[in-house]
Amino acid sequence: MGHFGITEIVIIAGVVILLFGARKIPELMRGLGIGVKEFKSGLKDDVSEDDETDGGKKKDEESEKV
């Protein structure tokens, strides 16, 4: 379970085309791409904020060890 074959992908693509129409699919994919791009940039911003807040502590600990 969870493995999609060519037949299942074709059926799903056909259903999507029937539901949304061929004209709406590029708009939907564009919106999905923008959403994924914003999500990834949000993750990068969150990680960089964590690095900035912990960065001073790590540098102080390293200087004490030397």
On whether residue 39 sits in a domain, the answer given is: yes
Q: Is 11 left (phi over 0), alpha (psi -120 to 50) or beta?
A: alpha
What is the identity of the amino acid at 35?
Answer: G
User: What is the number of structural domains in the chain?
Assistant: 1
On whether residue 54 sits in a domain, the answer given is: yes
On whether residue 16 sits in a domain, the answer given is: no
**Global pTM value:** 0.49
Tell whether the model's pLDDT for residue 36 goes beyond 90: yes
On whether residue 7 sits in a domain, the answer given is: no
Sign (positive or negative) of CA dihedral 50, 54, 58, 60: positive
Output the CA angle 12-18-22, nearest 5 degrees: 100
Domain residues for the domain of 36 are: 26-66
Per-residue DSSP letter, 17: H
On whether residue 37 sits in a domain, the answer given is: yes
Tell whether the model's pLDDT for residue 35 goes beyond 70: yes
